[in-house]
Amino acid sequence: MHRNQIWGGGHLVLMCLCILATAHFTIGAAPKKSVAVPFGRNYVPTWAFDHIKYFNGGSEIQLLLDNYTGTGFQSKGHYLFGHFSMHIKMVPGDSAGTVTAFYLSSQNNEHDEIDFEFLGNRTGHPYILQTNVFTGGKGDREQRIYLWFDPTKAYHSYSVLWNMYQIVFLVDDVPIRVFKNSKDLGVRFPFNQPMKIYSSLWNADDWATRGGLEKTDWSKGPFVAHYKNFHVDGCESSVNAKFCETQGKRWWDQKEYQDLDAYQWRRLRWVRKKFTIYNYCTDRKRFPKMAPECKRDRDV
Does an H or E element contain 255, and which? none
Dihedral angle over CA of 104, 253, 144, 32, nearest 10: -100
Q: Catalytic annotation on 236? A: no
Residue 83 CB contacts under 8 Å (≥ 6 apart), including other chains: 25, 31, 159, 160, 161, 162, 231, 233, 234, 252
Does an H or E element contain 297, and which? none
CA distance readout (Å), 251 to 90, 140, 190: 30, 31, 19
Please report the sign of the dihedral spanned by the C-alpha atoms of residue 107, residue 240, residue 255, residue 42.
negative
Q: What are phi and psi of 57, to 5 degrees?
A: 65, 25
Q: Catalytic annotation on 110? A: no
Closest listed residue to residue 8, CA positions, set 105, 87, 117, 114: 117
Instruction: Single out the catalytic residue among 60, 113, 142, 293.
Output: 113
Closest listed residue to residue 246, CA positions, set 237, 259, 258: 237
3 state SS of 293: helix
Which residue numbers are catalytic?
Answer: 113, 117
